Amino acid sequence: MPRTLTIDGNEAVARMAYLGNEVIAIYPITPASSMGEWADEWASQGKVNLWGAVPRIIEMQSEGGAAGALHGALTSGALATSFTASQGLLLMIPNLYKIAGELTPFVLHVAARALATHALSIFGDQSDVMACRATGCALLAANSPQEAQDFAVIAQAATLAGRIPVIHFFDGFRTSHEVAKIFAVEEDTVRAMLDPGAIAAHRARALSPEHPVLRGTSQNPDVFFQSRERANPFYDAFPRIVQDAMERFGELTGRRYRLFDYAGAADAERVIVLMGSGAETAQETVDHLNARGEKVGVLKVRLYRPFAADALLAALPATVQAVAVLDRCKEPGADGEPLYKDVVTALAQAAADGARAMPKVVGGRYGLASKEFTPGMVKAVFDELSDTAPRRQFSVGIHDDLTHLSLPWDASFRTDASRQLQHAVFWGLGADGTVSANKNSIKILGEATDLQAQGYFVYDSKKSGAVTVSHLRFGPAPIRSAYLIESGMAGFVACHQPMFVDRYELLEHAAPDGVFLLNTAAPPEQAWATLPTSLRTQIVEKRLQLWAIDAYAIAAEAGMGRRINTIMQTCFFAIAGILPKDEAIVAIKHAVDKTYGRKSKRLVELNYRAIDMTLAALHRVAVPAGPVPADASVPSPAAPVPDFVRDLTLPMYHGHGDALPVSRLPADGTYPLGTAQYEKRNIALEIPVWEPDLCTQCGKCVFVCPHTAIRSRLFSADAAQDAPPTFKHVPAKSKDFPAGTHISYQVAPEDCTGCGDCVEACPIHDKSNVSRRAVNMAPVAPLRDDERDNFAFFLRLPEFDRSLIKHGTIPGSMLLDPLFEFSGACAGCGETPYIRLATQLFGDRMLVANATGCSSIYGGNLPSTPYTVNGAGRGPAWSNSLFEDNAEFGLGMRLAADHLMDYAKQLTKELATDVGGDLAEALVGADQREEAGIVDQRRRVEALLDRLSASTHPRAAELAAVAEWLVRRSVWIIGGDGWAYDIGYGGLDHVLALSYDVNILVLDTEVYSNTGGQTSKATPIGAVAKFSAGGKATAKKDLAKLASDYGHVYVATAAYGAKDVQTLRVFHEAESYPGPSLIVAYSPCIAHGYDMLYNQRQQDLAVKSGHWPLFRFDPRLAEAGANPFKLDSAAPSQPVKAFMESETRFAMLARSHPEAAQQFLERAQQEAERRFNAYRDMAQRPADEPKSGA
């Protein structure tokens, strides 16, 4: 028997790609990132490829860059590969045409993913691959982790033999992230598959000065066309070459594939044609239906390009009367998707030739962006084919109540194969280790037994308090179920978090007579009483065994803090009955050894202890006999919410998004603001409590809050007369406000994440007890109800007159209403305070272009939107275009705003008589740099509209339509360092080089945070990041300095945790500067490897050590004859070492590469000194002569 591996699709592919390649150029993109990460990790460990060499792994600045590097490596004789998906694949297309046009052997491994259209989606479908149909690359589809591994090798063998580059793809997440037990392809097999002669031929074609040739000519009408046709024989031959490689692979491994694999009845009447993971589900369903006498089949398309029609026809039984071709993509406006049309063409041509009768052929779409595709849906397609007049075009998996294309399906349909499996579902928090424990369990069962195993993990759209649901299957036969565990199927359901019992339908998956494991602090005899009625009812009705464990208590007692993964895993093995208990415990301990053994014996011992304690503390809970009494408590009426929130936001939030019909959704991806406030996620264990007696009303707590969950507001004391009894407010200390003005600092108890940053920021200590501050964390439970009422009251208080507030001070600016709240960012996020600050200062006039990345995910990931509106309904208008084009996207917003303002001014002048000369003049000449000017202009626009409504001027309506553009818009271009330093740098640089008034905010986490910590050019020297496993060898790019070299760009660095006043000043200066402004904002991130509670402390250390000097470069000063460069931080007072030692990203290098760490440390110190000295010199430089006219 061949060796088995229990790994996910990405790792399976990466293993093969690594063995057979020499240059691997990559760029991170979900869901393909981990393939490159594996390769990088293996290279850093010195693992060699087939030829005994360590492949060169290079991370580029974009997928376009990676493709260019690959093209160069390939044309110069190396074997090269890459991994990508979605937008990344699109960026590679120009090079794919080149690589294919030059007949270059190459395999690109793609975890197929949706393309951004009305919205971005990270999830799986085949839209990206379908966009490459015309590149000249072959398209080879794998349907499972096993096939993804196998096809990685077959693709490489075929491309070497046939010179057609291959895009080898498999469904993103469903295959790339599914953990499965597969038969390993060993090194010898890969070696036997790759023809040394073909490799030598590839090398012989390489560009070489020893025998030089020229490639990449520019051709004219005379020969270009013929040249394109010249390659036809290669495409004609390629299907046979792929089939030969498949056969060779079959001889070596026993796993036999064909270009089109048919499964089902030999005399099938109805057949589904598709490619990708859905084909596995289809086969499972076909087997089930044929066992019941139906005559159905599935044709799995392996090689989609070049399209071998004869092979397809040969594989399709002659008995077929109806065919449904399913595409996992959408081509709007076409009369069918690509695979459908290719199949129709093949069949029609065969029919025209008289080779076979033309069956009925219909086309359907399914599974876009990882939409579920279940056996019930497969059956629905077969049922449709049974109809005498099946729909020619349909969709399946959604409810289309608009164009009525969707097929209804039986959600209760289950296959025989599925019923023979053991299913387990686990509900956990993202940070509690549930997913990693389950991956571990699958490995244990995969390796310790003959069982087949499958794991798939459903993640949250939030980064804080995220919920994960793990779906595990085990069984003796191969598992083809490429869909989530269905309701009523799970013999084992575990809830790892006590608070979930009220929030989720935990037992929907539970099968009758199954087991329900609950982590609860309640003792076993009281656990039943803590459950809500709905859960109790299901336990009784489904006759579930209820087991309870107090995992957090055991974790604490065993010295594991709040890490419960090993404990819950032990419970699973102890009661799920998949392995004999003793054997299972031995296996878990073995797994613990593997995880920790080489790194810490102490952690091994702690885990062992926890395992043993768990077994003693796991109890079965007696379930009372008889029916569950109805819930006597009357649910409190839900607070009224807008219709959109009721109909769309909340169903999505509660996990019912799949059931939303087509008509309910916006047609163009446009969503209202301010919906995050309705989620009320209640994830904090502790919340801040304000102590008015100590508070100096400095506003720092509000300034640092990453989730806008602590706020301050001014109001007249009279307004608080009806306040709830526990609402705290005191007279405002500032003399700027009228007598009787009160202030309140109020927490949003259900939106706070409990990060504690506000407490850390509080500068006040109780004189008798230094530990007590003006804001302190306290357990949320006794506070929640009162504070909920208090916060609701706080929000109802009238907005204080902004013109009376000093926007330039921290206490003042923090009294301004934030228009960004309750985002899904990580607890303690270092980016969000900057965004919130911008919305406080300028939110009512902001247009935001947001690069793809963390800030677009917490800023715009459904179900809700954190950007919100003020009392007048104004707020930041936000959009995300792409990752790479954000500066240009924002510039376009500026161009539109400027043009439409000019146009409106022009019309205003033209209509001056109707409008009124004074008003027209004021409208056209308004000074709107400051907020007061904008407020005045808005009043004028109202007056204008009023007068226009009475005007009979033929262009009055035209002016009315653009009148709002007379109000200045503040354009903000926001993104992370991955965008600004790398993929979008060209565009950013171009926008900086122009003179348009845009404000660019770079949230610099010094790493690609959103995709999991890959190196960017902002990564500092000596930092460990993915693709810099041995520490980044070069210093970070000084983006701010580069921008300041232009001379006309306002540039500043900021770190609010070090100097909040400077940050505030920078935002004001940047926004008021009437040209391009760039703020490079230091943003602590969980990727840095420390507790985000210390976010501000680390910012301070970054500045004090010279890692992050603060400066401002204001061209206005130069025009006024002053030195534009102002250094805002003092000479370093701490060694860089103090900063680096306190963050895991640096500290871990001292553990893995101590000598390199020491060298980097010295260079980092030199770099910090060099930079500071250079800045100091610039700050001390005498001012240039003032420019004329200044």
Partner 1 sequence: MIDLSTDYLGLRLKNPLVPSASPLSRDLDTALRLEDAGAAALVMYSLFEEELLAEDAMLDRFLLHAELGHAEADSFLPSHGKFQNGLERYSSHLHQLKRRLEIPVVASLNGVSPTGWVELGRALELAGADALELNVYHVAADMQATGEAVDARYIELLTELRRVVSLPIVMKLSPFFSSLPHVVRQIEQAGAQGVALFNRFYQPDIDLDELCMTDRLHLSTAEEALLRIRWIAILHGRTRLTLAATGGVHSESEALKLLLAGADVVHLASCLLREGPDKLTEILAGMQNWMEEREYESVAQMRGSMSQQNLSDPSAAARASYRRVLDSYSPRPGVWS
Is residue 343 near partner 1 by the rule CB under 8 A?
no
Stretch that binds partner 1, among 512-520, 696-704, 959-967, 1149-1157 (CB under 8 A): 1149-1157
Q: Is 425 within 8 Å of 431 (Cβ atoms)?
A: no
Q: How far apart are CA 607 and CA 1081, in angstroms?
A: 40
Q: How far apart are CA 187 and CA 204, in angstroms?
A: 25
Stretch that binds partner 1, among 652-660, 746-754, 784-792, 1147-1155 (CB under 8 A): 1147-1155
Identify the residue among 3, 211, 292, 598 touching partner 1 (CB under 8 A). Answer: 598
Is residue 459 near partner 1 by the rule CB under 8 A?
yes
Stretch that binds partner 1, among 487-495, 570-578, 1063-1071, 1080-1088 (CB under 8 A): 1080-1088
324, 318, 357: which is closest to 343 by C-alpha?
324
Q: How far is the CB of 1152 from partner 1 (least distance, A)?
A: 4
Sign of CA dihedral 874, 875, 881, 885: positive
Is residue 1006 near partner 1 by the rule CB under 8 A?
no
Is residue 464 near partner 1 by the rule CB under 8 A?
yes
803: left (phi over 0), alpha (psi -120 to 50) or beta: alpha
The b/e string for 785-803 (b: 16+ C-beta within 10 A; e otherwise) is eebbbbbebbeebeebebe
Q: Which residues lie below 8 Å from residue 725, measured CB to CB, with a gap of 6+? A: none
Identify the residue among 6, 21, 30, 865 touching partner 1 (CB under 8 A). Answer: 30
Query: Which is closer to partner 1, CB of 31 or CB of 162?
Result: 31
Name beta bridge partners: 139.
Answer: 167, 305
Identify the residue among 50, 1148, 1156, 1179 touching partner 1 (CB under 8 A). Answer: 1148
Q: How many residues bind partner 1, per CB under 8 A?
A: 64
Contacts of partner 1 in 100-129 (CB under 8 A)? 122-123
Q: Which of 1010, 1011, 1015, 1095 is catalytic?
A: 1010
Stretch that binds partner 1, among 40-48, 299-307, 719-727, 887-895 (CB under 8 A): 40-48
Q: Which residues lie below 8 Å from residue 476, measured CB to CB, with a gap of 6+? A: 420, 450, 451, 452
Task: Output the DSSP codes for 587-612.
Answer: HHHHHHHHHHTTT-HHHHHHHHHHHH
In the residue annotation, 319 being an active-site residue is answered as no
Query: Which is closer to partner 1, CB of 47 or CB of 1068?
Result: 47
Helix (H/G/I), strand (E/B), else coil: 490: strand
Stretch that binds partner 1, among 26-34, 478-486, 807-815, 903-911 (CB under 8 A): 26-34
Q: Which of 6, 10, 30, 565 is catalytic?
A: 30
Is residue 433 near partner 1 by the rule CB under 8 A?
yes
Is residue 1012 near partner 1 by the rule CB under 8 A?
yes
Q: How far is the CB of 326 from partner 1 (least distance, A)?
A: 24
In the residue annotation, 1010 being an active-site residue is answered as yes
Q: How far is the CB of 871 from partner 1 (least distance, A)?
A: 34
Q: Work out the angle between the directed axes of helices 581-596 and 565-576 (0-180°, nearest 10).
A: 160
Contacts of partner 1 in 1023-1042 (CB under 8 A)? 1024-1026, 1029
* CA–CA–CA angle 93, 104, 223 (5° rounding): 80
Identify the residue among 77, 94, 430, 892 touching partner 1 (CB under 8 A). Answer: 430
Stretch that binds partner 1, among 241-249, 275-283, 464-472, 668-676 (CB under 8 A): 464-472
In the residue annotation, 784 being an active-site residue is answered as no
In the numeric block, the tokens 């077929």 are attached to 320
Q: How far is the CB of 1144 from partner 1 (least distance, A)?
A: 4
Stretch that binds partner 1, among 27-35, 48-56, 187-195, 419-427 (CB under 8 A): 27-35
Is residue 594 near partner 1 by the rule CB under 8 A?
no
Q: Is 973 within 8 Å of 895 (Cβ atoms)?
A: no
Is residue 85 near partner 1 by the rule CB under 8 A?
no
Is residue 746 near partner 1 by the rule CB under 8 A?
no
In the numeric block, the tokens 């306040």 are attached to 723
Identify the residue among 1090, 1094, 1111, 1113 touching partner 1 (CB under 8 A). Answer: 1090
Stretch that binds partner 1, among 465-473, 487-495, 911-919, 955-963 (CB under 8 A): 465-473
Is residue 431 near partner 1 by the rule CB under 8 A?
yes
Is residue 173 near partner 1 by the rule CB under 8 A?
yes
Q: How far is the CB of 596 from partner 1 (least distance, A)?
A: 8
In Å, the largest CA–CA distance within the chain is: 98
Q: What is the distance, to the nearest Å, from the Cα of residue 1069 to the centroid of all Cα atoms in its chain?
A: 32
Cα radius of gyration (the chain): 32
In the numeric block, the tokens 């001027």 are attached to 953
Q: What is the distance, to the nearest Å, from the Cα of residue 895 to the centroid of all Cα atoms in its chain?
A: 30
CA dihedral 285, 286, 287, 292 (to 10 degrees): 100
Q: Which of 37, 59, 104, 113 is catalytic?
A: 113
Q: How far apart are CA 98 and CA 102, in angstroms?
A: 6
Q: Are strands 619-621 and 769-773 parallel, antiparallel or unpaired?
A: unpaired
88, 104, 171: which is closest to 137 by C-alpha?
104
Amino acid making up residue 1171? R
Distances (CA, A) of 1109 to 72, 933, 973, 1099: 39, 34, 23, 11
Name beta bridge partners: 690.
Answer: 775
Is residue 671 near partner 1 by the rule CB under 8 A?
no
Amino acid making up residue 916? G
Name beta bridge partners: 1000.
Answer: 973, 1078
From residue 844 to residue 873, the character string flagging contacts with partner 1 as x (rule: CB under 8 A) and all else as - is -------------x----------------
Amino acid making up residue 1046? Y
Q: How far is the CB of 15 from partner 1 (least distance, A)?
A: 16
Contacts of partner 1 in 1127-1146 (CB under 8 A)? 1144-1145
Query: Which is closer to partner 1, CB of 504 or CB of 596?
Result: 596
Q: Which of 37, 59, 63, 284 is catalytic?
A: 63
Q: How far apart are CA 462 and CA 457, in angstroms?
A: 15
Identify the residue among 1087, 1102, 1140, 1164 touching partner 1 (CB under 8 A). Answer: 1087
Element (H, E) at 547: strand 545-549
Structure tokens at 866: 């954190």
Stretch that binds partner 1, among 293-301, 454-462, 485-493, 1132-1140 (CB under 8 A): 454-462
In the residue annotation, 1162 being an active-site residue is answered as no
Q: How far apart are CA 1169 and CA 1135, in angstroms?
A: 10
Contacts of partner 1 in 924-953 (CB under 8 A)? none
Is residue 813 near partner 1 by the rule CB under 8 A?
no
Q: Are strands 741-747 and 467-475 parallel, antiparallel or unpaired?
A: unpaired
Q: How far is the CB of 1011 from partner 1 (least distance, A)?
A: 5
Q: How far apart are CA 339 and CA 1085, in angstroms?
A: 44
Contact residues toward partner 1 (CB under 8 A) are: 30-31, 33, 37, 40-41, 44-45, 122-123, 173, 428-431, 433, 435-436, 459-464, 466-468, 561, 563, 565, 595-596, 598-603, 765, 770, 826, 857, 1007, 1009-1013, 1024-1026, 1029, 1085-1087, 1089-1090, 1144-1145, 1147-1148, 1151-1152, 1154
Catalytic residue set: 30, 63, 113, 1010
